[in-house]
Amino acid sequence: MLDKLIKKEHAAGAPNPGAIFDFEVEKRLQCMTCKRCKYKKIAERQLQLTAPVAPNVEKDTPVELGICLERFFADTEIEGVQCDHCNAKTTFTQRSRFITFPKVLAVVIQRFVFDDIGPKKLEIAMQVPKDGASLDLQAFESATKGELAPGEEALPTGAAKMVEPTLDQALLNEIIMMGIPELHAKHALHRTGNNDSNMAVTWYFENMADESLN
Ligand SMILES: [Zn+2]
């Protein structure tokens, strides 16, 4: 379906047809102890969403796309991060917002989950509003375009470490023992918040699945 859209755009004479999916996202991190913030701008072509359902959810359970989006843009907490400004080992909050919007928003729903037996595929029924306009993406727009808001103070640049917090070695081992190469395991663990090996493995399988489709 994405290929079709790109071809259509190409036929319409667009110089860079793939650009219809391009957008920028800000990731805001805030230390809960000293309240200082860090913003990062990330170029994206799709949103990786997770469905808020249990692994044993019944087949064809309806899940609304809007709920998955809300979950993606909700504030999340990362525990046990060392802050380079106040030196506390503390909790950071993380939040994502759109800096720019794509012409066409591509979303990928993570379909692999883990239950007691192993990985399985969620067969949920995504509910997408017929009228795209009823999904209010403006609510997830950055007010400051990836910059500090008035009154916010920046974390020192050396604090970039916080974007990639030290990975939990025990969790990392769990993932590697499931047969996932170390580099991929580290990447997956980092991308999923460094606090849940199942989530990291799910992320890995989902992304490998995408890769094999390309
Ligand atoms: Zn701090």
Q: What is the pLDDT of residues 5-62, one digit of tens each?
A: 778 878 888 778 788 999 999 999 999 999 999 999 999 999 988 888 877 788 899 9
- Say how many Å lie between the CA of residue 151 and the centre of ligand 1: 16
- The pLDDT of residue 116 is 67
The whole-number pLDDT of residue 133 equals: 57
Pair 49, 109: CB distance under 8 Å: yes
- The pLDDT, as a whole number, for residue 144 is 95
pLDDT at 160: 44
41 CA from centroid of ligand 1 (Å): 21
| Whole-angstrom distance, CA of residue 187 vs CA of residue 200 | 8
The Cα–Cα gap between 80 and 195 comes to 10
Q: What residues are neighbours of ligand 1 (ion), with CB under 5 Å?
A: 31, 33-34, 83, 85-86
Give phi and psi for 200, each to the nearest 5. -65, -45
Question: How far is Cα 97 from Cα 94, in angstroms, rounded to an integer?
Answer: 10
- Asked if residue 136 lies in contact with residue 65, where contact means CB atoms within 8 angstroms, the answer is no
pTM of the predicted model as reported, rounded to 2 decimal places: 0.70
Residue 162, pLDDT score: 44
Cα 34 to ligand 1 centre (Å) = 4
What pLDDT sits at residue 147? 95
Going from the Cα of 52 to the center of ligand 1, the distance in angstroms, rounded, reads 31
Q: What is the pLDDT of residue 32?
A: 96
**According to the CATH classification, is domain 1-140 in 2.40.110.10?**
no
Q: Which tokens in the block code for residue 8?
A: 């259509």
- CA 150–ligand 1 middle distance (angstroms): 18
Domain ranges of the chain: 1-140, 164-214
Alpha-helical regions (H) of the chain: 2-11, 65-73, 169-177, 182-191, 197-213
Low-confidence ranges of the chain (pLDDT < 50): 159-160, 162-164, 212-214
Burial of 29 (0-12, 13-18, 19+ CB in 10 A): buried
Distance 87 CA to ligand 1 centre (A): 6
pLDDT recorded at residue 80? 83
Taking the centre of ligand 1 as the mean of its atom positions, its distance from the CA of residue 40, in whole angstroms, is 17
CA of 32 to the centre of ligand 1 (A): 7
183 Cα: distance to centroid of ligand 1 (angstroms) = 29
Ligand 1 center from residue 37 Cα (angstroms): 9
DSSP states along 141-157: B-SSTTSPPTT--BPPG
Contacts of 22 by beta carbon, 8 Å cutoff, 6+ apart: 43, 44, 45, 100, 102
